[in-house]
Each structure stands twice: as C-alpha cells, then as structure tokens.
Amino acid sequence: MTRAFLVVMDSVGIGGAPDAGEFFNDGIPDTGANTLAHIAQACADGRARDGRSGPLVLPNMTRLGLGAAVRLASGAAVPGLEADPDGFWAAATETSPGKDTPSGHWELAGLPVPWDWHYFPDTENSFPADLVRFVADAAGTDGILGNCHAPGTAIIERLGGRHMRSGWPICYTSADSVFQIAAHEDAFGLDRLLALCAAIAPRLHGMRVGRVIARPFTGGPDAGFTRTPNRRDFAITPPAPVLTNWVQDAGRAVHGIGKIGDIFSMQGIDTSVKGPDAVLMEHLFERVDNAADGSLTFANFVEFDSLYGHRRDISGYARALEWFDAELGRLLPRLRDGDLLVLTADHGNDPSWTGTDHTRERVPVLIAGQGAGSAGLVGFADVAASVAGHLGVPAQGPGRSFL
C-alpha cells in the first residue's frame, strides 16, 4: 500500500487560462495575468530586490517541471526556470465559475462547483441593508463598520481604532464570494468573533456565498495592527463526496494541513492542524515521516496568496517561493518508495497585476514518485482521480487519472 501527499501552493498560477477574459480586477480582464512568469521576469530584471536579489531560484520545482508547465500553459518565458525537468508534470485548467479558494480546492478534489457563486459587486455599501441589520443583531451592536471591498490589512489599519472604540465588527468583501469579519482578539474577543461568524454563516451559505471568514487581529492605533494566525473559514459544505470522502470511506486516514479542514467543513478529514506556513511545513515533514500506509495528507500553504499576492508584493512572493523550494529539497529525500507527492495550486494571484484580487490562471501539477514525463494539459478534477487511483480508491466525478 502507498501514501499520497497533495500540496496546494495557494495562488501559484502559471497563466494561460482560456477564459481569463471573463474574470476581472478593477474592471480589467485577467487576460495575460501570469503569477509565476511575471515574478520570474521581475526577478531577472532586478525589480524584486527587497530581502533577496538576482533571478528567481527554484531548482527543485524546476526539476519537477515548473518551468515546463508555465511554458505549456501560457507560452511565457520563465527566466531562471529553463532547465529540462526530470519529474512528472502537467498544467491544469479549471472549469468552475470562480477564481477563489473553494472553487479551486473543490475541483482539485474532484467536484467542479455546480452553481454560480453569489458576489457583492458594489465596492461601497456592498451588503444589502437587511444583511447588515442581521449581522449587527447577531453581533449585539447597533451597526457594522466597513461594508465595502477592501484588502484585509488595509481595512484594519483604517478602521481598527474606530472598531476598538465602538465595538462594531469590521465587515468587508472582495471580488471573491466571501463575507469577511475582522475584529480585535482582546477588545472584541476571539471566541465572540468565531461565534458571530458561525451564527451568520448559514444565511450567507443559503445565498451561495462561498465563505464567511473570521479575521482576528491584535495591536492598537499607535503601534499598528497585526492579523493573527487564528483566522477561520466557515465554508459551504461540498454538496457531493470529494477526494477526502472517497479516501476516508475506503477506511484510510485523511490528514488536513492548513485551511483544508475549513475549506471542506471537515468532510472526510480525520485530523487537522493550522498555523503559519513555517509551522505547517513542519507538520508536513511530520506526516511524511509518520503517516500510515494508504493515507492521504492534503495541505494548503496560504501565505503566497494572503501575504504577497493580495498585497501585490513581488519581492515577498519571490522570497516565499524560494523558501518553499528549499524546504522541498529537504522533503523529497524523506519520501518512501511508492509515495506520491503532488504540488499544485488553486488559482493565480499575480502580484504584478492591477487590483488586489485573485487572477484566473492555469496551475502547475508537479509530481514526485512517478518517474519522468508529462501528462500535458489536464483538468483540475483529474488531480483527484489520479490521487485516488494511486491509493487504489474508487473515484467519483468527472476526473480521469493521468498517471
């Protein structure tokens, strides 16, 4: 019996989505967005020198096929990632009508989203009055702050002091199907914030809003505010079985790392750990060392997206990629014979692009443990079918194994 490790590098897109023109940032279509290629070009041009310098250096992912996947997906040059691969690789295309976390992860787990998500398109006064009243009543306050589209760090800097004085929750959204609530862990209370999100989530889910997200923070107006690792996503439960269910129903263990447990509402997941990416990497090492035969470990590393993509920080994104690649170099030799490691992504978040939201892109599929070769262009759902096939578990849904 063998093991599988499915690792999502959140937002590490590679351009080339055929329907990118149907998705927008600040009214500009995502056509031409390419997270990896634009970061690599910026590094080669000397435009990513904050905390690093020189071309983008990702030797381990390049050997697995990252540069080749970018070239196949989009035809873009990827300076520093030109080496021929000796791993098994592909480029995956999403069909779900969204460029957000649930859409990408559900489809990677074998379930394309079967409906159109509900969005809040107005950048100001984003939420209808009855929803605002409902949230305020649930919070026990006379109103809410925010009610707009905003980056999470910017809105707490702008409204954190007022929030602490008034006690009103900070509610905001984005181009994704989300309702986010930021609140101070001490002044408002972390347990109170989580209880508020849990209380309003059923109504938002009934509207087909994909996630209600608790965004706790600490600090003060003078020293500044800092978001904490205690974020929690209250996501719609997938309406049909997904990869985690397939594996668990076959009597195997399923381990979630990062926000996987939240994304799938713990459906089909036996254990779940959370924390910053550096901590999650240690959990991934522990699973590689100790996970049982036949098990699935499903991990998400979110900081590419949350700390660098949304903030349009090219240098920071490049640093994160180089850190991840170095950790991968330590991880690969610890895999056992017969193990399958799949590295992929759920969408793009091009830090060189206009706006602050995700970008519609294809994603890489890099595989260790299956020799060398390429499956070419595949679908997101094919990833789930391939992992299930490796584990000898019956797959459901539209995906087909490419292994």
Q: Over the stretch 252-306, which tens digit does the pLDDT of each residue have? A: 999 999 999 999 999 999 999 999 999 999 999 999 999 999 999 999 999 999 9
3-state secondary structure of 362: coil
Residue 150 counted as domain residue: yes
- Known binder of ligand: residue 347? yes
| pLDDT per residue as tens digits for the range 99-139 | 999 999 999 999 999 999 999 999 999 999 999 999 999 99
In a shared domain, residues 244 and 342: yes
State the residue range of the domain holding 146. 129-235
Look at residue 120 and tell me if it is in a domain. Answer: no
Write the single-letter amino acid at 336. Answer: R
358 is annotated as contributing to ligand binding: yes
Last residue of a domain, one of 235, 266, 293: 235
Instruction: Using the structure block, give the residue that is written with the tokens 């035809």.
Output: 75
Q: How far is CA 256 from the centre of its chain?
A: 14
Would the annotation count 10 as a binding residue? Answer: yes
Q: Which residues pair with 261 in a beta bridge?
A: none
Share above pLDDT 90 across residues of the chain, in percent, rounded to a whole number:
97
On whether residue 122 sits in a domain, the answer given is: no
pLDDT at 83 over 80: yes
Identify the pLDDT of residue 26.
Answer: 87
Does 139 lie in the same domain as 58?
no
Do 263 and 193 fall within a single domain?
no
Total structural domains in the chain?
A: 2
Residue 121 lies in a domain: no
CB burial of residue 138 (10 Å; 0-12, 13-18, 19+): middle
Q: Could you tell me if residue 401 is inside a domain?
A: no
Kindly report the CATH number assigned to the domain that includes residue 136: 3.30.70.1250
